[in-house]
Amino acid sequence: MLFTLCFGISTAPQGVFAQLQQAKPWLGVAIDQGKSGVLVKEVLKGTPAETYGLAAGDEITAIDNLKVAVPPELIKAVQSRGIGNKVVVHFVRAGKPTSKEVELVAKPDELELLKNQLVGKPAPSFDLKVITGNAPGSNAKLRGKPAIIEFWATWCPACVGSHKRLSEFAKANAGKIAVLAVTDEDDQAIARYLSGKSFDFTIVKDTDQKMQAAYKVSAIPQLVLIDKDGKVVDATIGGGFYLDEFLASAAKQF
């Protein structure tokens, strides 16, 4: 949720600043609905939440004097405070009400956040149904060979637009690297998309979205590069020059 910057008492936006958005502060937590407040599902590394000692399982009930009962209320309360300010986070841990003072920092952009969460770490495991293609749908079976993982959907123009280039790369480097395209759509939608097409990468189905969650997918197309030892060495979001830079990085793995 973003808030437009405004100055003075004019009722109509004027000037350059009227077109800007307030920089977004954050706590650095993945959240969901809790029983008594907003549940902290995960604390992200290198964020204010980790620095100041919030933990998965905490249920946030207020920011300063603003009570929060649902996730949108927590987001609004945090973003209303602004970057650089300190807030008191009230929460329940193991049934006991407590609080911590947290200093808010700027939220990284989407790509920076993705890289921070995945690159340099072991690739989360997966074992998915293969829809079409020759590569295995399990990272355990891919071990010993680098792999590209693309998260995509048939309704995503940028995803569809990248498939020709991705297929060309897979064909040119067959036997050197596995290329998997992950979707959670139903079999009929996938079949309609594939009708009349032929790709040299493998399409796999993430039926329960667990792989999407494990790989922190917040926008598509998202691409992740895994080396032969099972470690994430690169990640990006988008097509075009982002895809070209990513494939150049992938080519250095063999």
Q: Is the pLDDT of residue 8 over 80?
A: no
Per-residue model confidence as pLDDT tens digits over 164-175:
999 999 999 999
pLDDT value of residue 22: 57
116 and 234 inside one domain = yes
pLDDT at 23: 65
Q: What's the pLDDT band for 224 if we cut at 50, 70, 90?
A: very high
Q: In what helix (H) or strand (E) does residue 105 lie, and over which residues does it extend?
A: strand 105-106
Q: Do 58 and 156 have their domain in common? A: no
State the pLDDT at residue 136.
Answer: 95
Cα–Cα distance between 40 and 61 in angstroms, integer? 11
Measured CA to CA, the distance from residue 80 to residue 84 in angstroms comes to 12
* Per-residue confidence (pLDDT) for residue 81, from 0 to 100: 84
Angle at 163 between CA 125 and CA 117, to 5 degrees: 35
Who wins on pLDDT, 58 or 10?
Answer: 58
Asked whether residue 159 is domain-assigned, the answer is: yes
Angle between helices 157-172 and 240-251 (to 10 degrees): 30
Task: Please count the other Cβ atoms lying within 10 Å of the Cβ belonging to residue 75.
Answer: 18
Share of the chain above pLDDT 90, in %: 72
Residue 9 domain-assigned (yes or no): no
- CB neighbour list of residue 155: distance below 8 Å, 6 or more residues apart: none
Task: Tell me: do 36 and 139 sit in the same domain.
Answer: no
Report d(CA 144, CA 175) in Å as an integer: 12
Q: Does residue 241 sit within a domain?
A: yes
Mark which of 106, 131, 164 sits at the end of a domain. 106
Positive/negative CA dihedral, 208, 210, 211, 212: positive
The amino acid occupying position 125 is: S
**pLDDT mean over 83-90:** 92
Query: Could you give phi then psi for residue 45, rounded to 5 degrees?
Result: -65, 140
The answer on pLDDT for 25 being more than 50 is yes
Question: Is residue 8 included in any domain, yes or no?
Answer: no
State yes or no: pLDDT of 4 exceeds 50.
no
Number of domains making up the chain: 2
